[in-house]
Chains A and B, each alone.
Chain A
């Protein structure tokens, strides 16, 4: 069968995946740099290419509220946003997870105000890392497309039933054009299957109440069930990633190791920076240096065991964070990785690097420098530093 390839930006690829998913409801509000996703989708709706009910609401808070209503009614529901828009959704995002509604969101990572900034960092999604959503990071437009399709399956899986967000790096992926390979519409439909909600407020034969008050009696159990669902998502994400590989030739795991098997020094990162790191690693390998990368695809649930396994043999790992915890010790990825390694007998020293806030450039020289620093022993284990900022 011939391959379906077209040149698309990350936003176009995500909108196209949404078109192929053909959800029942999309509710959204525009925000740079995610606007196009929904705008392109609005055109699909207007042209009758999808059967989706498109709700152009008056804010992101309303967008997520409408998504919650529609998902509770048993509809396959999607949305897209970024930065301040996501921040305005936070209240509703916690509710979506608590109600176990499998909403799928495209989130284009952008810095949070203040100061106002429209460029990439991961502060927006990290602001809801504890909201109960599944977070899948994408390295490029192809992965954004693939993740959007898998996200539907993951979110709706009977063992999971959790809202899922797929990120791209603002402007770097969202507006960068590349070749994106698609599955045919029928194959996407077959892959995601028909949505069979376990519960729906529209099922008059089996009336339910969604979101009722839980005090000291049951709240804790419900929150605990949410944690269990996150844990249950780990094998599901893996299994669906493998299945997707059979379908498309592009298999996915919770993490991806690049030149990691015999690596002595490694960087750990999320998103588009992994692409940059791969190029650096290729050139270092050509010079005989044993450099590698650990890319974390699923940040929530955090794949502790895979991370430990992947880093076991390296001599040093530099963990890159495109957001800060402000008052914590190191960025969110660093704190997770370090905590995962803590009790292990065989573990590398790690150091944290906070970089790229508000779209500040991370280039190949900077990543190469990290490898040099690790090798020369100039980075102190457990240290946290800022990379590329004027002091």
Chain B
């Protein structure tokens, strides 16, 4: 029998119930993360997977890494603690648009500002999935949610621009439709020494799709396929051709020393080295 390549990274013997709905994008993101880790040959004992609360944040339960499933919004703060205690660890943060940008927005911008070395995979389904489809800071203006039955009146965040402006070294966006590209972006992010964000656009057919009449999971995937433009192509297009589309690719890639590196320098200096 052929064993799935991701199998060794999962916890199949634990029988944790799968909470993800059929057609949810979050599982595809998990696959992309596992392949990226395998491709880089990272040692799992040298890694930690930290998440908050949400459908997306369930991932560390299923992955066989050192993991912390914490409180809603606090994943990045916990991850900062993990990283500072053991800077050798590769820290991956699994979070959602609500977890990272609403209740945890403060941690997001400050970890980016400090450039704490971690890879943040933000599953953006533009809604609070777990609690029943309330609008989030990434719900596009005018879209429906259970708290906005006639559409939201609030403007949305662009997580990549936010991360860049706050000081991150890497910001990229992929979709679950293009899982190969997503995997590549996560691989790049994992290699960075600083705060690296990968926003994974992940459909929530159960709530966002239903409330916005976007059809079933297949239709939502189809939509991603037909409405994604790579950032390089987007730069050459007139703005009206890009509006309403998902722009993917690397938006920001810089080399700035990470927080633990600078911290070590301060220690060395204080010791008179």
Listed in ascending order, the chain A residues whose CB lies under 8 Å from chain B are 29-32, 35-36, 38-39, 42-43, 46-47, 56, 58-60, 84, 88, 113, 116
Residue pair B102, A30 in contact (C-beta under 8 Å): no
**Nearest-CB distance from A119 to chain B (Å)?**
15
Partner of B103, one of A29, A42, A116: A29
B208 to chain A, nearest CB (A): 15
5 cross-chain pairs, A with B, having the tightest CB-CB distances, nearest first: A59-B103, A58-B102, A30-B131, A42-B147, A46-B149
Distance between A80 CB and nearest chain B CB, rounded to angstroms:
13
Given A31-B72, A36-B132, 5 other A-B residues pairs in contact with their CB atoms under 8 A = A30-B128, A39-B132, A39-B134, A42-B146, A59-B102
Enumerate chain A residues within 8 angstroms of B128, measured Cβ to Cβ. 30
- Of B71, B72, B103, B147, the contact of A39 (CB 8 Å cutoff): B147
Question: A42 and B71: CB pair below 8 A?
Answer: no
Chain B residues positioned under 8 Å from A84 (CB to CB):
53, 71-72
- B128 and chain A: residue at smallest CB distance: A30
Q: Are A58 and B131 in contact (CB under 8 A)?
A: no
Is B16 engaged at the interface, CB distance under 8 Å to the other chain?
no
Closest chain B CB from A164 CB (angstroms): 24
Quote the shortest CB–CB distance from A25 to chain B (angstroms): 15
Interface string of B43-74 (1 = CB under 8 A from A): 00000000001000000000000000101110
A34 to chain B, nearest CB (A): 10
Residues of B with C-beta under 8 A to A113: 71
Q: Are A35 and B103 in contact (CB under 8 A)?
A: no
A58 to B105, CA, bound (A): 9
Take A30-B128, A42-B149, A46-B150 as given contacts and tell me if A56 and B103 are in contact as well, using a CB distance cutoff of 8 Å.
no
Q: Does B137 contact A (CB under 8 A)?
A: yes
User: With a CB–CB cut-off of 8 A, which chain B residues contact A38?
Assistant: 147
Taking CB atoms, residues of chain A closer than 8 Å to B131 are 30-32, 35
Closest Cβ of chain B to A81, distance in Å, is 12
CB distance from B141 to the nearest CB of A (A): 14
Q: Is the interface of B mostly helix, strand, loop or mixed?
A: loop
| Distance in angstroms between the alpha carbons of A38 and B102 in the assembled complex | 17
Query: Is B21 close to A, CB under 8 A?
Result: no
A58-B103 contact in complex given A84-B71, A116-B69, C-beta closer than 8 Å: yes
Q: A30-B128, A30-B134, A39-B134 are in contact. Are A116 and B53 (CB under 8 A)?
A: yes
A46 to B144, CA, bound (A): 12
Residue numbers in A under 8 Å from B137 (CB-CB)? 58
A42 touching B53, Cβ below 8 Å = no
Q: How far is the CA of A60 from the CA of B73 in the complex (A)?
A: 11
In the assembled complex, the CB of A241 is this many whole angstroms from the nearest CB of chain B, namely 34
With a cutoff of 8 Å between Cβ atoms, the chain B residues found around residue A116 in the complex are: 53, 69
In the assembled complex, how far is the CB of residue A367 from the closest CB belonging to chain B, in whole angstroms? 31
**How many angstroms between the C-alpha atoms of A56 and B152 in the bound complex?**
10
Cβ of B84 under 8 Å from chain A: no
Task: For residue A275, give the distance in angstroms from its CB to the closest CB of chain B.
Answer: 27
Q: Which residues of B contact A39 (CB under 8 A)?
A: 132, 134, 146-147
Q: Does B135 lie within 8 Å of A56, measured CB to CB?
A: yes
* CA A47 to CA B150, docked complex, whole Å: 9
The answer to whether the Cβ of B148 comes within 8 Å of any Cβ in the partner chain is yes
Return the chain A residue nearest B69 by Cβ: A116
Cα-based distance from A332 to B131 in the complex (angstroms): 30
Q: Which residues of B contact A43 (CB under 8 A)?
A: 149
Query: Considering only CB atoms, which chain A residue lies closest to B133 in the complex?
Result: A39
Contact between A30 and B149 (Cβ–Cβ < 8 Å)? no
**Nearest chain B residue, comparing its CB with the CB of A42:** B147
Nearest chain A CB to B177's CB is how many angstroms away? 28
Chain A residues with CB under 8 Å of B69's CB are 116
In the complex formed, the residue of B with least CB distance to A54 is: B147
Bound Cα distance A372, B185 (Å):
66
Residues of B contacting A46 in the complex (Cβ-Cβ under 8 angstroms): 148-150
The 8 A CB mask of B21-37 against A (1 = contact, 0 = none) is: 00000000000000000
Complexed CA–CA distance, A35 and B146 (Å): 10
Interface string of B101-112 (1 = CB under 8 A from A): 011010000000
Chain A residues with CB under 8 Å of B147's CB are 30, 38-39, 42, 56
Task: Check B134–A56 contact: CB distance below 8 A.
Answer: yes
Q: Which residue of A lies closest to B146 (CB)?
A: A39
